Amino acid sequence: MGSSYPAVLAALQARGRYGIRLGLGRTRALLRVLGDPQGELRGPLIGGTNGKGSVQAMVAACLAAGGLRVGQTPKPHLVSYRERILIDGRPIAAEAFAALVGEVLEIADRLARRLGPPTEFEVLTAAAFAAFARAGVDVAVVEVGLGGRLDATNAWDGGVAAITNVALDHRDRLGGTLEAIAGEKAPIIKRGDRAVSGATGPGLAVIRRRARRLGVPLRETAPLEVLGMGRAGLRLAAPGLGEVRLALLGRHQAANAAVALGILEALREAGIADLPPAAIRAGLEDSRWPGRLELLALPPDGRAVPADRTAPDPAAPDILLDGAHNPHGMAALAAALDELRPHLSAGRPTLLIGLMADKDVAGIVGALAPAAALRGARIITTRVDAPRALPAAELAAAWRAASPGGRHDVTPIGPLDEALEAAVAAARAAGGPLVVAGSLYLVGAVRGRLVADDDLRDPEEQGTDPGHG
């Protein structure tokens, strides 16, 4: 294997054929050869069905506002694999990525005969821990990949564990009940940790039992009070802070913000990071989570630009990107659309949607189709460029079944480029918002085509697998 970025990228992508193989043995072996860099790191390990990414974005932004050096492992990536290893909010350089991941891949090849080949996610997890230790980050903010008990990230104990919520997803791997799924997530809580959770019901009961058995203090959070919502995000009432502004959209972020604040308090109690209120306020107001209820505008002659701080412009339709790929996430999108509708471009809305075939398609579509904000909308279904993608025609049929009576004009357009061109044209003609929703494969592909981001423009990566979703 060469050490150039394209060669390392190709070798990493080749590991995608091993799929998802849960287990800690391979990751621990990789880390042992690397000198156990994870042992030098402190910070939160964040699990949960939904909201992990939003919570890690808030926590990292607050820590950075407090002057700390922060490592992050957001997942999945939207455009470039380098998004999976962030230091101080920026992806590591292509050269550094190639050197580090190349080093881990060589170790993986040596271990493969004895332990089986480490997966793509295991390689990236080990590489991230090594990158953070070598960069001397003050806090690592790590997002669980899938489940928790056997996830590669659980080879690390940073002192704080958080579980945002528990909902039905990945039932083939995690179990068919909330209790079973919580049982897979709760083991990220380890003896000596401080734990935080926004879960409720049966999921919370399982998490409580785990914390009680290990003698771990568990901070249970409830959604913050929403004082107002607009294009710029939420105004929230936070205990001890008063009114705060959160740059992320959607009322569901009030629950995620509560978990993030709980994590920050746990970090303080653990002696890892003690932030002043001003840093927390600034971090929440500066939080960004691309592709998740991200509001952009598309000028007539340019690339899409952030639109959360500007008024709607008839010449530049709003674009709302959201990688909601399960019923719980799609219900949150539907609620957000209904509340945001008065603040978006006024004309007829257009929806571009694509999903994976192995998802709960009926549940996902059924959660979004009734949204009042989509009444009379033009619906364009497409096929995501991924092996598990649902054909556009099948998705269109599912949408029609969920929305009887001709409430929507539904058009299947398989090729993504054609579908996106049609969706943009429809939004411009109607003067209304374009909503791009469903699989993160879709959101990443659309964002890569519409947004100019020189930090992430890696030509070799076009069409790569962005991860789960």
Nearest to 257 by CA among 273, 241, 246, 268: 246
Contact indicator for 196, 263 with CB cutoff of 8 Å: yes
Q: Pairing relation of β-strands 159-163 and 43-47?
A: parallel
Task: Enter the tokens of residue 407.
Answer: 């409430």
pLDDT computed for residue 311 by the predictor: 84
Contact indicator for 16, 7 with CB cutoff of 8 Å: no
Distance CA 445, CA 32 (A): 36
Distance CA 144, CA 123 (A): 14
* Domain ranges in the chain with CATH number 3.90.190.20: 292-461
Angle at 337 between CA 318 and CA 244, to 5 degrees: 90
pLDDT computed for residue 329 by the predictor: 86
pLDDT computed for residue 242 by the predictor: 95
pLDDT computed for residue 113 by the predictor: 86
Contact indicator for 92, 131 with CB cutoff of 8 Å: yes
Q: Pairing relation of β-strands 378-381 and 409-412?
A: parallel
pLDDT computed for residue 468 by the predictor: 46
**Crossing angle between the packed helical segments 94-115 and 5-14, to the nearest 10 degrees:** 40
- 303: number of Cβ within 10 Å: 12
pLDDT, tens digit (0-9, with 9 covering 90-100), for 18-76: 566 778 999 999 999 999 999 999 999 999 998 999 999 999 999 999 999 999 999 88
Q: Phi/psi class of residue 251: alpha, beta or left (left: φ > 0; alpha: ψ in -120 to 50)?
A: alpha
pLDDT computed for residue 467 by the predictor: 44
Q: How far is CA 414 from the centre of its chain?
A: 25
CA distances to 330, 334, 335, 376 from 371, in Å = 10, 5, 7, 11
pLDDT computed for residue 213 by the predictor: 98
Distance CA 419, CA 449 (A): 13
Which residue type occupies 203? G
* Domain ranges in the chain with CATH number 3.40.1190.10: 5-285
Distance CA 141, CA 37 (A): 15
pLDDT computed for residue 325 by the predictor: 82
Give the CATH number of domain 5-285: 3.40.1190.10
Task: Enter the tokens of residue 192.
Answer: 């000596």
pLDDT computed for residue 19 by the predictor: 60
Q: Name the class of domain 292-461.
A: alpha beta
CA dihedral 14, 18, 20, 23 (to 10 degrees): -120
Kindly list the averaged pLDDT for each block of 10 residues, start to end, along the chain of length 469: 84 75 89 98 97 96 98 91 96 96 95 88 97 99 94 97 90 83 96 98 97 98 96 95 96 96 99 98 95 92 82 88 89 92 92 94 93 91 90 96 79 96 94 94 92 59 45
Distance CA 327, CA 363 (A): 5
The per-residue b/e assignment along 280-292, b for 16 or more CB within 10 angstroms, e otherwise, is bbbbbbbbebbbb
